[in-house]
């Protein structure tokens, strides 16, 4: 009986950790986006004035929706045109989260 209780506790704790961890990760990406990307790409991903002058496109456009995650990760990592590379400023995981976040912008 004690074992059953222990297993139940482990499941309960795991569920709690997962439910807490997922929103925190999304929030991290949102915060990173705000500090590192929004100046050019705009809070809603539609590109700020400065960003569009440099050639940044609307993240909500079908053109970006068509690109694969790998392509967007590559651009964020290595940079492209006036877009600075982030490979030395962000981890691969942070960049992956940011690309996921970009797709949720409305
Ligand atoms: C200094 C301004 C600037 C900042 C800061 C910036 N970007 Fe960009 N970004 C650009 C420009 C300009 C382009 C368009 C590059 C091109 O196609 O010539 C671009 C393009 C992109 C693209 C590719 C879209 C496409 O057309 O394929 C992605 C993805 C992207 N940026 C993500 C990010 C993320 C994530 C951040 C923050 C970590 C960020 N950018 C920060 C200016 C910026």
The CATH number of the domain holding residue 48 is 1.10.760.10
Domain holding 47, by residue range, is 27-104
- What is d(CA 1, CA 44) in angstroms, rounded to the nearest whole number? 53
Find how far residue 36's CA is from the centre of its chain. Answer: 11
CB neighbour list of residue 13: distance below 8 Å, 6 or more residues apart: none
Find residue 66's DSSP bridge partners: none
In this prediction the pTM is: 0.83
Total domain count, the chain: 1
Query: Could you tell me if residue 47 is inside a domain?
Result: yes
Please indicate whether residue 100, judged by its CB atom, sits closer than 6 Å to ligand 1. no
Asked if 105 and 57 count as a contact pair (C-beta separation under 8 A), the reply is: no
Query: Could you tell me if residue 17 is inside a domain?
Result: no
Query: Could you tell me if residue 53 is inside a domain?
Result: yes
Query: Could you tell me if residue 88 is inside a domain?
Result: yes
When pLDDT is averaged across residues 85-93 and rounded to a whole number, the result is 97
What is the 104 CA–ligand 1 centroid distance (Å)?
Answer: 16
Please indicate whether residue 50, judged by its CB atom, sits closer than 6 Å to ligand 1. no
- What is d(CA 37, CA 54) in angstroms, rounded to the nearest whole number? 13
- What is d(CA 85, CA 77) in angstroms, rounded to the nearest whole number? 5
Find how far residue 75's CA is from the centre of its chain. Answer: 14
**What is the per-residue pLDDT across 48-88, written as a single tens digit (0 to 9) for each?**
999 999 999 999 999 999 999 999 999 999 999 999 999 99
Q: Residues for the chain: how many in total?
A: 106
Query: Could you tell me if residue 12 is inside a domain?
Result: no
What is the 76 CA–ligand 1 centroid distance (Å)?
Answer: 6
Query: Could you tell me if residue 44 is inside a domain?
Result: yes
Query: Could you tell me if residue 5 is inside a domain?
Result: no
**What is the per-residue pLDDT across 3-58, written as a single tens digit (0 to 9) for each?**
777 777 666 756 666 666 665 666 799 999 999 999 999 999 999 999 999 999 99
Mutate to test the pocket of ligand 1, among 46, 56, 77, 96 (most ligand atoms within 8 A of CB): 56
Query: Could you tell me if residue 2 is inside a domain?
Result: no
């Amino acid at each position: 009986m004690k074992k059953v209780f222990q297993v139940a506790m482990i499941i309960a704790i795991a569920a709690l950790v997962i439910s807490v961890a997922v929103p925190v990760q999304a929030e991290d990406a949102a915060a990173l986006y705000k500090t590192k990307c929004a100046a050019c790409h705009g809070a809603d991903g539609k590109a700020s004035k400065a960003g569009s002058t440099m050639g940044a496109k609307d993240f909500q456009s079908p053109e970006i929706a068509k690109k694969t995650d790998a392509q967007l990760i590559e651009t964020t990592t290595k940079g492209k045109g006036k877009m600075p590379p982030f490979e030395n400023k962000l981890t691969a995981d942070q960049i992956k989260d940011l690309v996921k976040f970009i797709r949720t912008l409305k």
